[in-house]
Amino acid sequence: MANVTALILRSPGTNCNDETQFAFELAGASCEQVHINQFLEQPKIAQKFQILCIPGGFSYGDDVGAGRIMAAQMRQRLAEALQQFRDAGKLMLGICNGFQVLMNSGLFDENPTSERSVTLTWNNNGRYEARWVNLKTKTDSCVFLRDTDLMYLPIAHAEGKFVVRDETALNSLAQNGQLALAYCDPSQNGNGALLPFPINPNGSDQNIAGICDPTGRIFGLMPHPERFVDPTHHPRWTRQGLDTKPDGRVIFENAVSYFA
């Protein structure tokens, strides 16, 4: 496999950068952590990478809302660099706070300057939730989710509720294959009905836990795949004797193998 390079973009308050780098390295990528200030000063630095990942944490302390400050910096000063990155057929991944940043950046829209039709807001219960959840892949167009079906991953967020503006916007996302990942009850087939807490931990519309852009190359999700890349990360590994590949690792391996 050719050497694949990943840029891990961090900011004040990011706290999952090391785990995310470890996950990409397990998948075979070479990684470099870059501070947002360095990226702002040298936008062309992204050209030497094939994957750009914004990891979880609390960028700028979520002082004016989760991911909003970092997203504003990217919109105002990095729009051209990010568009070039996207047009070059490269991959972007946003995890938890990184998903919030991508969402506020408008990068999931075909026209980033248009009015946003989706957002992430406070969990229904109004508090931070940290638990493991079951997930189901909803599209075959997302690069990161190839050959996946059911997954079990941890979440840790207060503003993870996915909300769609209206039925028209929801139908457009579905038709484009952008509703990528959903909270699920693995014992049921599911019919799109809103699942109760804690199966759906935040009250997201359509139980959505992650979306992609129309190309399938930009992906954001609220769960933390970097926190389940080794069997010992599973909360029941000593009892179940897990010998299958950890669910989170597959997401990173799919990103790396895309460039093989």
Positions annotated as catalytic residues are 96, 224, 226
- With tokens 């967020």, the residue in question is 157
How many residues appear in the chain?
Answer: 260
Secondary structure (3-state) at 132? strand
Strands 91-95 vs 51-54: parallel, antiparallel or unpaired? parallel
What are the backbone dihedrals phi and psi of residue 249, each rounded to the nearest 5 degrees, phi first? -65, -30
Question: How far from chain centre, in Å, is Cα 15?
Answer: 15
Q: Mark 202-234 as b/e (b = at least 16 C-beta within 10 Å).
A: bbbebbbbbbbbbbbbbbbbbbbbbbbbeeebb
Residues 6+ away with beta carbon under 8 Å from 211: 108, 118, 162, 173, 178, 179, 180, 181, 219, 220
Between the alpha carbon of residue 220 and those of residues 122, 144, 255, 258, the distances in Å are: 17, 10, 13, 17
